[in-house]
Structure 1
Amino acid sequence: MNLELRKIEFVQEFLKIQNEEIISRLEKMLRKETETSLEDSFERMSIEDLNKRIDQSESDFENNRYKSSSELLAKYK
C-alpha cells in the first residue's frame, strides 16, 4: 500500500472518531512527532563553521555585497 492511500485511509478513520480524548491524544502525538522530525532535519553548526560564516558575512557587508530588506521586499511584491 502506498503512502498516499495510507494517509487517505487514516484520515477517513480519524473522521469517524467521536471521542474527544482520543483526538486530543492523536493531536499531541502528531505535534510531538512533527517537532522531533523538524529537530532531526537540522544539522548543528560547529563553532568554527559559525565563525567562518560570520566572517564571510562581515566581509560581504564591507564589500557592499548585500541587499537591503526593502530591496528583498520589492523583489517579492
Structure 2
Amino acid sequence: MNLEARKIEFVKEFLKLQSEEAISRLENILRKEKNASYERQLEPMTQDELNQRIDQSESDFENDKFKTSSELLAKYK
C-alpha cells in the first residue's frame, strides 16, 4: 500500500473514532511529530553568520534603524 492510500485509510479510521481520549492522544502524537520534523529542518548558524548579524545590528543601531520596545508595543495595542 502506498503512502497516499495509507493516509486515506488512516483518515477514514480516524473519522470513525468516538473516543475523545483517543483523538487527544492522536493529536498529541501529530503535534510532536510536526515539532520534531520542524526541528530536523533547522540548521545552526555558523560563527561567521552570527558575527555578520551582530555587525549588521550594530550598524543599524548606529544609523537609527531600529524601533524601541515602546514603539513596538504601541503598534500592537
- TM-score interval (norm. to shorter): 0.5 to 0.7
The one-letter code matched in structure 2 to 1:22 is A
Runs of 4+ in 1 over 4 A off after TM superposition: 53-59
Offset at 1:48? Answer: 1.9
- The 1:5–1:48 alpha-carbon spacing in structure 2 relative to 1, beyond 3 Å, is same
Q: TM-score, normalised by structure 2?
A: 0.64
With the length of structure 1 as denominator, give the TM-score of the two structures: 0.64
**Can you give the 5+ residue segments of structure 2 that lack an aligned partner in the other structure?**
60-77
Render the CA deviation track for 1:22-46: whole Å, top value 9, x for unaligned: 0000001100110010011111112
**By how many angstroms is 1:56 displaced?**
7.2
Structure 2 equivalent of residue 27 of structure 1: 27
Unaligned runs of 5+ in 1: 60-77
Q: CA deviation at 1:11?
A: 0.1
